[in-house]
């Protein structure tokens, strides 16, 4: 057997293979012999069918079976002799079988490209302590105050600061672009709204219908809306005024606390817990940035495709050429990060123990996932890979030098 590796991408192995006619002929004869005792043809006893008759009836089938076995044997020999570790199924293309039984075909599969694993123990990370604690505390108190607010109906046109109880839908080219929203409360003038919506809703009254068309620029911060023209159609149910309760013991009681001091203590504790998480996430992002910038290689296509689907789901985007262009950089970085983490995990022999798997499964149980689905996760390669990924990041964080 003659093999020739084609010059191609570092993550793709494309191999031209030529198999000598003697090997092909021998394999066909082996297949023919193996079926001679069990083939059935009307008018002949099983095991007594003349070979010429057998070949006339099943010759093309035996030949196909022989080629499949040769493809498989060639693939196994190549990966063993060259110490390759495929990450995709091998594809056979452009095969030809000459009259003299010389077989030529191409074999292709993806691998993890070779790259030098940079130093990853003792990474120097900088701890970024969140600031503006008092401001954040007041924002949380205000959010709770707003949660306990009450509303009264206004018998006048809406003004800035008023709230509208509305049903609305979003259309694109006269077709629904999102699920219709019913009973939604919108505050006119809020910076959470598009300015054109705020302007359009000024002066509306209960029972009014209002439409506004908005063209979002290509560089719009939310990629789901970028470079699209959408029409918002509102039906106004009511115009309302909000009344905020005083920040006192009564507010705390309404929220389930004994008094205002207990509420403030709980808010303080929640903020400290959240800030610890923020600090940790920033440190992990520094690890991410180091690993993707220090390791220079092109991720395999199978990793790119899988990561791209994950990112689409994460952002709720549809697959399109525009999405591919916008997300390419982050997709490549995430794919590289996963590959590097896998390599570190293998080198450091980081694998989850049964208790680690149970701990992760418990999160799904708490979320109300059905038992059968949880049991399927237990042996899912993707589920285990995610646990390993998190374990490696935690391991790197524990080994890091944090200042």
Contact (Cβ atoms closer than 8 angstroms) between residue 384 and residue 352: yes
The confidence score (pLDDT) of residue 226 equals 82
Taking only the tens place, the pLDDT of each residue in 27-78 is 999 998 888 877 788 878 777 788 888 888 888 899 999 999 999 999 999 9
Among residues 299, 361, 294, the alpha carbon closest in space to that of 331 is found at 299
Residue 79 has pLDDT above 80, yes or no: yes
Q: Which two tokens stand for residue 252?
A: 């705390």
Taking only the tens place, the pLDDT of each residue in 152-161 is 999 999 999 9
- Pair type for strands 124-125 and 401-402: parallel
> Residue 131 CA to chain centroid, in angstroms?
32
Beta bridge partners of 24: none
Conformation bin of residue 375: beta by default, left when phi > 0, alpha when psi is -120 to 50: alpha
The CATH classification number of 2-110 equals 3.30.70.1050
Taking only the tens place, the pLDDT of each residue in 208-250 is 999 999 999 988 887 778 889 999 999 999 999 999 999 999 9
Q: Around Cβ 102, how many Cβ atoms within 10 Å?
A: 15
The domain spans of the chain are 2-110, 150-243, 259-402
Q: Does domain 150-243 have CATH number 3.40.190.10?
A: no
Report the residue count for the chain: 403
Dihedral, 130, 134, 138, 144 alpha carbons, nearest 10: 60
The confidence score (pLDDT) of residue 75 equals 95
Residue that wins the pLDDT comparison between 376 and 203: 203
Residue 87 gets which letter from DSSP?
S
Beta bridge partners of 106: 16, 93
The span from the CA of 49 to the CA of 101, in Å, is: 25
Tell me which architecture the domain covering 259-402 has in CATH: Orthogonal Bundle (1.10)
pLDDT band at residue 267 using 50, 70 and 90 as cut-offs: very high
Q: Which two tokens stand for residue 183?
A: 């009973």
Taking only the tens place, the pLDDT of each residue in 282-340 is 999 999 999 999 999 999 999 999 999 999 998 888 888 888 888 999 999 999 999 99
Among residues 296, 300, 297, 292, the alpha carbon closest in space to that of 330 is found at 292
Cα dist. 291→295, 310, 339 in Å?
Answer: 6, 20, 10
Among residues 278, 326, 327, the alpha carbon closest in space to that of 304 is found at 327
Among residues 257, 290, 18, the alpha carbon closest in space to that of 148 is found at 257
Residue 367 has pLDDT above 90, yes or no: no
List of residues 6+ apart from 144 with CB closer than 8 A:
251, 255, 263, 267
Among residues 293, 279, 387, 282, the alpha carbon closest in space to that of 340 is found at 293
Taking only the tens place, the pLDDT of each residue in 173-206 is 999 998 999 999 999 999 999 999 999 999 999 9
Contact (Cβ atoms closer than 8 angstroms) between residue 334 and residue 288: no
The confidence score (pLDDT) of residue 389 equals 95
Residues 83-93: what's their mean pLDDT?
A: 94
**What is the pTM for the complete model shown?**
0.77
Residue 99 gets which letter from DSSP?
T
Residue 199 gets which letter from DSSP?
H
């Amino acid at each position: 057997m003659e093999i020739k590796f084609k010059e191609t991408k570092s993550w793709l192995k494309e191999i031209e293979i030529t198999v000598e006619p003697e090997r092909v002929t021998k394999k066909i004869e082996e297949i023919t012999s193996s079926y001679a005792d069990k083939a059935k043809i009307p008018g002949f006893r099983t095991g007594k069918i003349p070979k010429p008759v057998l070949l006339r009836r099943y010759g093309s089938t035996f030949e196909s079976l022989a080629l499949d076995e040769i493809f498989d044997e060639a693939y196994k020999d190549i990966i063993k002799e060259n110490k390759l570790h495929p990450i995709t199924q091998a594809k056979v293309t452009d095969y030809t079988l000459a009259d003299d039984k010389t077989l030529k075909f191409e074999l292709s599969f993806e691998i993890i490209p070779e790259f030098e694993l940079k130093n990853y123990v003792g990474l120097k990370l900088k701890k970024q302590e969140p600031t503006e604690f008092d401001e954040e505390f007041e924002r949380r108190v205000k959010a709770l105050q707003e949660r306990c607010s009450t509303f009264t109906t206004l018998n006048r046109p809406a003004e800035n600061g008023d709230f509208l109880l509305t049903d609305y839908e979003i259309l694109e080219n006269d077709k629904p672009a999102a699920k219709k929203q019913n009973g939604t409360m919108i505050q006119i003038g809020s910076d959470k709204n598009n300015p054109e919506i705020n302007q359009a809703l000024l002066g509306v009254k209960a029972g009014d219908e209002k439409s506004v068309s908005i063209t979002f620029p290509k560089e719009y911060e939310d990629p789901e809306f970028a470079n699209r023209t959408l029409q918002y159609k509102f039906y106004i149910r009511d115009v309302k005024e909000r009344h905020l309760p005083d920040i006192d013991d009564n507010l705390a009681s309404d929220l389930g606390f004994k008094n205002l001091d207990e509420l403030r203590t709980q808010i303080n504790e929640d903020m400290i817990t959240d800030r610890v998480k923020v600090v940790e996430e920033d440190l992990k992002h520094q690890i991410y940035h180091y690993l993707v910038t220090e390791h220079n290689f092109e991720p395999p296509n199978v990793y790119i495709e899988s990561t791209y689907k994950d990112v689409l789901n994460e952002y709720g985007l549809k697959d399109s050429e525009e999405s591919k262009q916008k997300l390419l950089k982050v997709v490549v970085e995430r794919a590289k990060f996963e590959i590097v983490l896998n390599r570190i995990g293998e080198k450091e022999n980081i694998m989850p123990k049964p208790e680690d798997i149970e701990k992760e499964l418990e999160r799904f149980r708490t979320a109300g996932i059905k038992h059968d689905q949880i049991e399927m996760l237990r042996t899912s390669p993707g589920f285990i890979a995610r646990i390993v990924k998190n374990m490696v990041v935690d391991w790197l964080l524990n080994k890091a030098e944090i200042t």
